Chains A and B, each alone.
Chain A
Amino acid sequence: MKFLMKFLAIPLLALYSCVVFAQSVNQSVGDAEPQNQNKPAAPKPTPTPANTSGRRPPSELQKALDEFRVQMGAPNAKGTAGRLKSAGRQNSLTGRVYENLRNDLFDAIPHQVRQRGGTTKSLLRRNQFGLTVSGPVRMPWLYDGRGKTYFSFSYEGTRERIAQSYLFTVPTDRQRLGDFSDLVDSAGQPLTLYDPATTRLNPNYDPTKAIALDNLQYLRDAFAGNVIPDHRLDATARALTALYPRANIAIGPFLQNNYTINSPFANRANGVITRLDHRLDEKQQLSFSMNASRGRRLSPEFFSGPGNSGAPSYDYESGQMTVQNTFTASPKVVWNFRLGTSFNSQTSLPQGDAAIDYPKQFNLSGVFSKALPRFFFSGSYLSLGPRQPVFRDRSYNYNATVGVSVNRDAHTLRFNGQARRYFANVFSPATPAGALTFSTTLTGLPGLRNTGNGFATFLLGQVTRAEETIVLHPSYWRNTFIDLNASDEYRVRPGVTLNVGVSFEISTPRIEKYDRQSTVSLDHVNPANGQPGALIFAGKDGLGRGLQPTTTKFEPEISLSLNPFNDRRTVMRVGYSLNYNSYIVTGSARHFGTQGFNAAPVFISPNEQLQPVFTLRSGLPLNFRLPPDLDATAANGTEPDFINRNGVLPIDQQWTFSLQRELPLTMQLEARYTGLRGTQQYVDSLIRVNPYRVSLLPYGERLYDDAFRNSLRPYPQYRSFELGGLYPAGDYAGHALTMTLDKRLSQGVFGRVVYRFSKLMDNYSSGFPQDPDNLREEWSLSTGDITHSLSVNYTYELPFGKARRFLNDGSPLAHVFGSWSLSGITSVVGGNPLSIRPLFNRTATLIGGLRANAVPGVDPHVENPTAEQWFNPAAFAQPDDFTLGNAGRTHPTLRGPLEQFHHLSLTKRVEITSDTSLEFVTESFNFPNHANLNEPDTRIGPASSPNANAGRIIGSTGGRVMQLGLRILF
């Protein structure tokens, strides 16, 4: 053994010596041979003009080439090509882990809390954490995806409880017991309550004169001392009052704004995004992506208990999945194939105790649900009862896309085809336990405004109006959308490129899986009265499954870009496009268009000034036809759903003109004009398909007679029609000039300034029109119009640290002061136009969008608008009863206060290793703790009872919020 060792040792040592010697010699002359014998041999030199012609190549270049080969390692089979697998962060795992923390400890007291006397901060606990990682897929001994298969994965979780401040008006402690001796109107004048039980005709009424205190049509006795006697209080109402919160503050004016709450909402969310890319070969790429999010949102409670009228709490899920294949058939032809699906779901959480039958507990009969009904009290009181006690919404879609791009001479042609199939499975009754309204009219003097009280009417148990939603089955909506698109990018000549495109969109109407769909047809005769307007049903009597026609729309698009005067620093672009909307699978009302299969009975007082529709003691009436009721008359007497069946779809047009100019100091300026025109936009309340005409207003007080009033409708067997937010009738037009100055990073500064000057007009942003037959009158500034807006985004990298101007020497000071950067966002947004409205609307509900009158000769503006007086309310007046107002829908020059937002972020990066660093982020939102004023009160009362707040701004909102972040970047 010893011999063997000795025998082998000498030759091995000699061999080692030779190898090391040879290597070192190679290194010393900079030879092209690999340093490591494990590396494959270098490839043969590529033929070059120099060496193919027999001349020696330039020696330095050859040295460089040799080094290139050494560095690149083995070529592939083709001899000259290869992949640098080990180089680059693309082949290692990269990503970040992060945590963002917010806590009220760091924040300022919100202005809205401080103004209400609050001295403590609202609860705020928020943790947002997650990670993102991406890199090649590698499974030891099984698969090495470097250069082929890559993944990325993100997870984010949120845990938060954030209190929000609310201010409401609730009855005072006395009023809760029926004592309204403290009741005042909006001007602070005592308000008398009248006993509806004493209503009687006034024998001295003179019909030739207007109704006034000395000429009443009906007489009523006032409650002695403005106190409702104990025995008159409804037992159910008294019991329900116990669920209602008590006043806890006195903001005013008078008895208004007397209840405030800082109520937390809680959100617990978890979400992931994953992506996988795989290169099948040089020509084919396959991508898979999936994201999903789920969580639970507990909405803020306006008050605790089953009567809470805040938004419902719910569980939610959403996500999508896509598979895409890109096939590069040749350098000039690329195909794309894509399949995808997405889903969204929301399920309500029970409010109160699900086991308790609340209507039974409160002795309220006729309710088709165990949930508590909703109670609305006229006079801006907070409502009582759950907003939407139960819902389950699940919607999803499948989509497929195929596209090809072909390059041919001066043309690039693109063809795309896309098909989408939508599904929405919904169970979402709006008011399953009923919604009951208590108006002021029953405790006031009939014919006189500014009398009575909604909560007093409630205590008497006298319901003015009620509605109920009875949904027997979920609705399973479906529809399909197909889009075929072709476009050509044509390089006309140097400096000029023309883009022309056209789309054909095929939109199919929605269907219901079990054909549980209906609408009122104005072409059918109602068997009950022989008049036009009857309920029709999908899939019955020769009707198709869809109640609308399939539409095919043509959408052109054209744009031109050029460098004027061959100046490459300037680019001009012009463009025009026209787009149609498609049918929407569900509107705002999830069971819209299911009458007969479901029911939505409406109970309206025969005369809301004189008598209730029912009392709490009697319970909700059962005098309606229960579903299913597939009869043409099933919707008679209701507010039926009306599906527009003429195939008209909303149109949006846009035209643009822009000039971009490169400026010195790495800046660029762009001026862009954008014109917008929209017609036949989806609206809800603008169009009143079964409206009262304004010409009926002279009927005056008679219009309070429900039977008489409804007989005046075009389709008297129905009340107003529900349009589900899907009636194509709205118009808008807008113009905007946007100036954008970009400063690219130099000297550590990077930023963008955008100023926008715009005007947007429409006829539907206020909802109900004043005159349904004269929509031209509605044409005015959009409620969302903003004339001026300015935003500034900036980043400044402090000039200290590695690769920066100062302290770049790696010293301890450099570690402390290096790698800081400051970012900021400032935006200033002008106010929206004000909509001036009368305080009272005495038109017997004929006019939904009643306007104020403009007082001639009185300037509505004030010299220095302040919160105390933002505009001059004397420039407006309450119109007389049963007359229209003459002021514009929105005022052309009066606007709300502008809003400012200033956010700042300070980031410090610390390098841990060459590939890993730590980042601390401090973000301050509204860092100057600036308060933005609320909108002014625009309700104008009559001279006899003016609105004391008209023209004033009550309060402001805002407060500095801090967020701390920690990120590990690798």
Chain B
Amino acid sequence: MLAQTFRRIKFLFLLALAFSVASFAQTPPANTPNKPQLKIPVWIETEEGQFWLEGKRQSFKVFLDDQEVALKNLQGPTSGTILLVVFDTVVDLTRIELARHAVTETLKNLPENHWVALFTAQDGLNVLLEPTANRAALAEKIETIQVNGRAGLLDTLEPVARLAVSMQQKANVRVSVLYVTDSGVANYRADMLNPVVNSSDTGDLSRRFADRAVQERMSRTAQDLSAFTIPFFILHLEYRPDTLNLAYQSGLERIANDSGGAAQFCRTNDEIVSSLEMLLKRLRSGYVLSFDAPKRKRAAAKLRVMAVDASNQPFERIKHADRITLPKN
């Protein structure tokens, strides 16, 4: 009887010990921050229109809803950078050839601490190359990029943003996304053209506002991406002037601008190289400011960044997102 009782006690003790170990193991380590960190990209232009590259942590002040928050970290133009390059090429062989060459040549000039990953966006996000500083491997992979499939830019923006945020949260690096695309609204699988289904329907007024479906999609995508703080740079290889593509391109520009990035639309093939160089110059010149997320009262907060130079003179041209989505506590 006693032995049985003892065995029961031993069993319960072991059970308690096991749960204790498990519970201890699940407790976050002391050095893990309780509050999620927010990281925002910022660009500063001088009066001469050049990017200011000498910023230090003490050069910046960040205000959320007009309340200053303490900067925890800063990555500047010399910091390590991950660049996610996504090709979304579905239309024109000529432009893709030029774009392949331009990207290869331009990325060669990036510093060694700029690692580049390569994707294609058609039919889902395909990883061709994980982040690497190996430019030869990158050039080799870029050469294999083809013109095929359906456009995937809009569908892959969010997963790419998630990936980028995740990397940026885990490491003190800058992460940017560069899309190289020639797609138009007609190249999507989703129905943004809103084509006439019944050609006999002469009383159809629902398609009078022809670009509504495009605008609606772009607006939703922009809204979805507003939760991320990753700058998107979009190099569109072919500017199209028709109404539907104007709405599409306008939406891409909005997405890029809202994220703190930029979009360039090439109206001739010869603009591809210069447009790419402009985007990469900007991409390289940015800062990422890290600070603790405030206790959440609202879903979003108004963001304001101040920066001063070495002589304590404030900069006028500071480019960053106007608002920031706060993480759920």
Which A residues form the contact surface with B (CB < 8 A)?
A: 6, 9-10, 13-14, 16-18, 20-25, 28-30, 43, 46-50, 52, 58, 60-72, 75, 80-85, 87-91, 94-95, 100, 102, 126, 128, 130, 132, 134, 146-148, 150, 152, 154-156, 158, 160, 162, 267, 269-273, 275, 277, 279, 282-283, 285, 291, 293, 295, 297, 316, 318, 326, 328, 331-332, 334, 405-407, 412, 489, 491, 494-497, 561-563, 568, 571, 660, 666, 670, 740, 742, 744-746, 750, 752, 793, 795, 797, 802-803, 805, 808-811, 819, 821, 823, 825, 903, 905, 907, 909, 911, 914, 917, 919, 921, 923, 925, 961, 963, 965, 969
- A970-B104 Cα distance, complex, nearest whole Å: 38
Whether the pair A412, B94 counts as a contact (CB closer than 8 A) is: yes
7 more CB-based (< 8 A) A-B contacts, given A126-B203, A279-B149:
A13-B19, A47-B137, A80-B128, A88-B156, A152-B189, A810-B298, A821-B219
- Chain A residue at smallest Cβ distance from B157: A88
Q: Of the candidates B170, B191, B216, B275, which one forms a contact with A67 in the assembled complex, judged by CB atoms under 8 Å apart? A: B170
**A570 to nearest B CB, angstroms?**
9
Q: What 0/1 readout, one digit per residue, does chain B (108-136) give for beta carbons within 8 Å of chain A?
A: 00001101010000011111111111100
| Residues of chain B from 118 to 164 with CB closer than 8 A to chain A in the complex | 123-134, 137, 143-150, 152, 155-156, 158-159, 162-163
| Number of CB contacts from chain A to chain B under 8 A | 366
Instruction: Give every chain B residue within 8 A of A275 (Cβ-Cβ).
Output: 189
Q: Of the candidates A46, A80, A146, A660, which one forms a contact with B267 in the assembled complex, judged by CB atoms under 8 Å apart? A: A660
Q: How many residues of B contact A (CB 8 A)?
A: 114
- Chain A residue at smallest Cβ distance from B264: A568
Instruction: Give every chain A residue within 8 A of B113 (Cβ-Cβ).
Output: 58, 61
Whether the pair A742, B197 counts as a contact (CB closer than 8 A) is: no
Whether the pair B204, A128 counts as a contact (CB closer than 8 A) is: yes
Q: What 0/1 readout, one digit per residue, does chain B (174-201) give for beta carbons within 8 Å of chain A?
A: 0100000000000001110001011111
Is B241 engaged at the interface, CB distance under 8 Å to the other chain?
A: yes
Known interface pairs A28-B32, A81-B127, A295-B198. Does A793 touch B94 (Cβ–Cβ under 8 Å)? no
Instruction: Give every chain A residue within 8 A of B219 (Cβ-Cβ).
Output: 797, 821, 909
Whether the pair B246, A744 counts as a contact (CB closer than 8 A) is: yes
Whether the pair B189, A90 counts as a contact (CB closer than 8 A) is: yes
Known interface pairs A65-B115, A745-B254. Does A328 touch B270 (Cβ–Cβ under 8 Å)? no
Whether the pair B209, A825 counts as a contact (CB closer than 8 A) is: yes
Whether the pair B143, A293 counts as a contact (CB closer than 8 A) is: no
**B53 to nearest A CB, angstroms?**
19
Q: Of the candidates A49, A326, A793, A803, which one forms a contact with B243 in the assembled complex, judged by CB atoms under 8 Å apart? A: A793
Whether the pair B137, A72 counts as a contact (CB closer than 8 A) is: no
**B164 to nearest A CB, angstroms?**
9
- A572-B275 Cα distance, complex, nearest whole Å: 18
Whether the pair A961, B205 counts as a contact (CB closer than 8 A) is: yes
Whether the pair B93, A670 counts as a contact (CB closer than 8 A) is: no
Is B37 engaged at the interface, CB distance under 8 Å to the other chain?
A: no
Most buried by B among A47, A66, A331: A331
- A282-B145 Cα distance, complex, nearest whole Å: 10
Is B323 engaged at the interface, CB distance under 8 Å to the other chain?
A: yes
Whether the pair A745, B250 counts as a contact (CB closer than 8 A) is: yes
Whether the pair B246, A64 counts as a contact (CB closer than 8 A) is: no
- A810-B130 Cα distance, complex, nearest whole Å: 37
Query: Could you jot down 25 A-B contacts, CB within 8 Å?
Result: A6-B11, A16-B18, A18-B21, A20-B25, A24-B27, A46-B132, A46-B134, A48-B134, A49-B112, A50-B112, A61-B82, A61-B131, A63-B171, A67-B170, A84-B126, A126-B203, A150-B189, A407-B93, A412-B93, A563-B270, A746-B253, A821-B219, A905-B212, A917-B220, A923-B205
Whether the pair B205, A963 counts as a contact (CB closer than 8 A) is: yes
Is B103 engaged at the interface, CB distance under 8 Å to the other chain?
A: no
Whether the pair A568, B189 counts as a contact (CB closer than 8 A) is: no
Instruction: Give every chain A residue within 8 A of B208 (Cβ-Cβ).
Output: 825, 903, 923, 925
- A130-B145 Cα distance, complex, nearest whole Å: 38
Is B313 engaged at the interface, CB distance under 8 Å to the other chain?
A: no
Whether the pair A746, B197 counts as a contact (CB closer than 8 A) is: no
Q: Of the candidates B32, B126, B137, which one forms a contact with A83 in the assembled complex, judged by CB atoms under 8 Å apart? A: B126
- A673-B129 Cα distance, complex, nearest whole Å: 47
Whether the pair B128, A10 counts as a contact (CB closer than 8 A) is: no
Whether the pair B100, A89 counts as a contact (CB closer than 8 A) is: no
- A746-B250 Cα distance, complex, nearest whole Å: 8
| Chain-A contact segment, one of B42-50, B54-62, B221-229, B279-287 | B221-229
Is B173 engaged at the interface, CB distance under 8 Å to the other chain?
A: yes
Is B269 engaged at the interface, CB distance under 8 Å to the other chain?
A: yes
Whether the pair B198, A60 counts as a contact (CB closer than 8 A) is: no
- A586-B300 Cα distance, complex, nearest whole Å: 64
**B294 to nearest A CB, angstroms?**
13
Q: Of the candidates B28, B94, B249, which one forms a contact with A407 in the assembled complex, judged by CB atoms under 8 Å apart? A: B94
Instruction: Give every chain B residue within 8 A of A147 (Cβ-Cβ).
Output: 123-124, 126
Is B230 engaged at the interface, CB distance under 8 Å to the other chain?
A: no
Most buried by A among B28, B29, B130, B169: B130
Is B2 engaged at the interface, CB distance under 8 Å to the other chain?
A: no
Known interface pairs A497-B268, A808-B299, A963-B205. Does A740 touch B150 (Cβ–Cβ under 8 Å)? no
**B160 to nearest A CB, angstroms?**
8
Q: Of the candidates A25, A70, A89, which one forms a contact with B25 in the assembled complex, judged by CB atoms under 8 Å apart? A: A25
Instruction: Give every chain B residue within 8 A of A160 (Cβ-Cβ).
Output: 203
Whether the pair B246, A50 counts as a contact (CB closer than 8 A) is: no
Whether the pair A285, B203 counts as a contact (CB closer than 8 A) is: no
Whether the pair B226, A744 counts as a contact (CB closer than 8 A) is: no
Whether the pair B22, A128 counts as a contact (CB closer than 8 A) is: no
- Chain A residue at smallest Cβ distance from B224: A914
Whether the pair A100, B18 counts as a contact (CB closer than 8 A) is: no
Whether the pair A331, B209 counts as a contact (CB closer than 8 A) is: no
Is B167 engaged at the interface, CB distance under 8 Å to the other chain?
A: yes
**A912 to nearest B CB, angstroms?**
12
Instruction: Give every chain A residue within 8 A of B226 (Cβ-Cβ).
Output: 802-803
- A34-B299 Cα distance, complex, nearest whole Å: 31
- Chain B residue at smallest Cβ distance from A754: B243
Instruction: Give every chain A residue within 8 A of B74 (Cβ-Cβ).
Output: none
Is B166 engaged at the interface, CB distance under 8 Å to the other chain?
A: yes
- Chain B residue at smallest Cβ distance from A331: B146
Known interface pairs A67-B170, A797-B219. Does A128 touch B93 (Cβ–Cβ under 8 Å)? no
- A912-B298 Cα distance, complex, nearest whole Å: 19
| Residues of chain B from 267 to 314 with CB closer than 8 A to chain A in the complex | 267-271, 274-275, 298-300
**B129 to nearest A CB, angstroms?**
6
- A82-B120 Cα distance, complex, nearest whole Å: 11
**A797 to nearest B CB, angstroms?**
7
**A966 to nearest B CB, angstroms?**
12
Whether the pair B127, A495 counts as a contact (CB closer than 8 A) is: no
Whether the pair B197, A134 counts as a contact (CB closer than 8 A) is: no
Q: Which 4 A-B pairs have the closest CB atoms?
A: A87-B159, A21-B25, A90-B155, A803-B226
Instruction: Give every chain A residue within 8 A of B5 (Cβ-Cβ).
Output: none
**B130 to nearest A CB, angstroms?**
5
Is B9 engaged at the interface, CB distance under 8 Å to the other chain?
A: no
Whether the pair B268, A561 counts as a contact (CB closer than 8 A) is: yes
Most buried by B among A64, A84, A154, A744: A64
Instruction: Give every chain A residue within 8 A of B156 (Cβ-Cβ).
Output: 87-88, 90
Instruction: Give every chain A residue within 8 A of B246 (Cβ-Cβ).
Output: 742, 744, 752
Most buried by A among B97, B128, B137, B206: B206
Instruction: Give every chain B residue within 8 A of A742 (Cβ-Cβ).
Output: 241, 246
Is B316 engaged at the interface, CB distance under 8 Å to the other chain?
A: no
- Chain B residue at smallest Cβ distance from A79: B130
- A450-B134 Cα distance, complex, nearest whole Å: 94
Most buried by A among B82, B93, B204: B93
**B126 to nearest A CB, angstroms?**
5
Instruction: Give every chain B residue within 8 A of A128 (Cβ-Cβ).
Output: 201, 204, 206
Q: Of the candidates A64, A84, A497, A809, which one forms a contact with B299 in the assembled complex, judged by CB atoms under 8 Å apart? A: A809
Most buried by B among A6, A660, A809: A809
Q: Of the candidates B147, B222, B224, which one forms a contact with A328 in the assembled complex, judged by CB atoms under 8 Å apart? A: B147
Is B66 engaged at the interface, CB distance under 8 Å to the other chain?
A: no
Whether the pair A64, B171 counts as a contact (CB closer than 8 A) is: yes
Whether the pair A90, B126 counts as a contact (CB closer than 8 A) is: no
Instruction: Give every chain A residue within 8 A of B36 (Cβ-Cβ).
Output: none
